[in-house]
Amino acid sequence: MENNSRTYLQPSTVAQLANIELKARLIVEGFITGLHRSPYHGFSVEFAEHRQYQPGDDLRYMDWKLVGRADRYYVKQFEEETNLRAMIAVDASASMKFASAGNISKFQYASYLAAALAYLMIKQQDAVGLTLYDNEIRSYLPSRSKRSYIQEILKTLEYAVPSGKTGTAVALNLLAERISRRGLVIILSDFFDEQESIITALKHFRHKGHEVIVMQILDPRERDFDFGWDATFKDLETGEEMVTQPYQIRKSYADAMKNYCDTLKRECLQRGIEYVLLDVSQPFDTALREYLGKRTRM
């Protein structure tokens, strides 16, 4: 069963599923299967009351002391606190459309991951919102914890189409001003923008008192530039095309990309910002574990 569930952490498998709600649910279920204990327990819960045992209740919450004093079985009922407010920001600019042979696009990966994160948070009764942006904020759903709210988030993700020029720094600054209450901000992007401006925008969130997780999503070919001997490159934002021989610059490109990612990571960590580098061939549990680690430390 565990192996079957873990297949739904693979991007290529998830992409074949019918709709984004199913994608989100099966990613989360696959993730939970891989954990020794469910993250649905142990997160800031307060004791509420006893109630009579009903078939199907978890026996771990049976109050055996009370059972010993009464003629009936009782379980402890807990009421979860909504002590986390999260905003998931997804880069929906045209550069996120890129997908090399055999891989899903960066935007698909970000969308499925955002859906799974939102689904997991709502299940934990945390408040979660969604922002889609390019060089401005295109969609903004404020953070809420109501269970039915997940449908609005998933619908927004499912019908989104990446377009427009990249303006990560501008859009993130706008978002930082828009979020009124402190919480957790998770940003899913390739971060292909002027790096100094991005760092300044991330500092804006920290100045406002937010915790931040940066998830940089890249295609494997954007990291190794292994496009073979001859290739035609098209700018997804301008449509401009260029024919070149990638092998001639592969090493220098790969070195420059590694330096870019390393610098972004270093700048984030110096400011207390979590950073994780993902590529679209990686299982989704890498990112979900990063979130869970941050969640338990808050």
pLDDT at 234: 47
pLDDT at 34: 75
CB 92 within 8 A of CB 111: no
Residue 149 scores a pLDDT above 90: yes
- pLDDT tens-digit profile of 19-69? 999 999 999 988 888 774 444 444 333 344 545 555 655 555 555 555 555
pLDDT at 80: 44
Q: Which residue has the tokens 């996120």?
A: 96
Confidence of residue 294 (pLDDT cuts 50, 70, 90): confident
For CA atoms 175, 140, 178, 272, the dihedral sign is negative
The total number of residues shown for the chain amounts to 298
pLDDT at 105: 97
DSSP state, residue 1: -
Mean pLDDT of the chain: 82
Pick from 28, 33, 80, 37: nearest CA to 60: 37
Q: Give the percent of the chain with pLDDT over 70.
A: 73
Confidence of residue 142 (pLDDT cuts 50, 70, 90): very high
Taking residues 229-239, what's their average pLDDT?
Answer: 47
Residue 114 scores a pLDDT above 70: yes
pLDDT at 68: 55
Pick from 108, 146, 131: nearest CA to 20: 108
Q: Give the percent of the chain with pLDDT over 90.
A: 58
221 or 264, which is more confident: 264
CB 20 within 8 A of CB 115: yes
Lowest mean pLDDT among 139-148, 149-158, 219-228, 266-275: 219-228
pLDDT at 191: 96
Tokens of 53: 């045992």
Confidence of residue 72 (pLDDT cuts 50, 70, 90): low
β pairing state of 184-189 and 85-91: parallel
pLDDT at 10: 95
Residue 1 scores a pLDDT above 90: no
pLDDT at 45: 37
pLDDT at 251: 72
pTM score? 0.79
- The backbone torsions φ and ψ at residue 194, rounded to the nearest 5 degrees and listed phi first, read -65, 120
Tokens of 170: 């501008």
CB 202 within 8 A of CB 194: no
Confidence of residue 76 (pLDDT cuts 50, 70, 90): low
Residue 79 scores a pLDDT above 70: no
Domains and CATH numbers, the chain: 9-33+82-297 (3.40.50.410), 45-80 (no CATH)
Tokens of 5: 């569930």
- 3-state SS class at 275: strand
Taking residues 141-170, what's their average pLDDT?
Answer: 94
Which residues, including other chains, have CB under 8 Å from residue 18's CB and lie 6 or more apart? none
Taking residues 96-107, what's their average pLDDT?
Answer: 94
Residue by residue, DSSP assigns 50-71 as EEE--TT--GGGB-HHHHHHSS
**What is the spatial distance between Cα 49 and Cα 146, in angstroms, rounded to a whole number?**
22
- pLDDT tens-digit profile of 159-214? 999 998 889 999 999 999 999 899 999 999 999 999 999 999 999 999 999 999 99
Pick from 117, 107, 279, 133: nearest CA to 201: 133
**What is the spatial distance between Cα 207 and Cα 203, in angstroms, rounded to a whole number?**
6
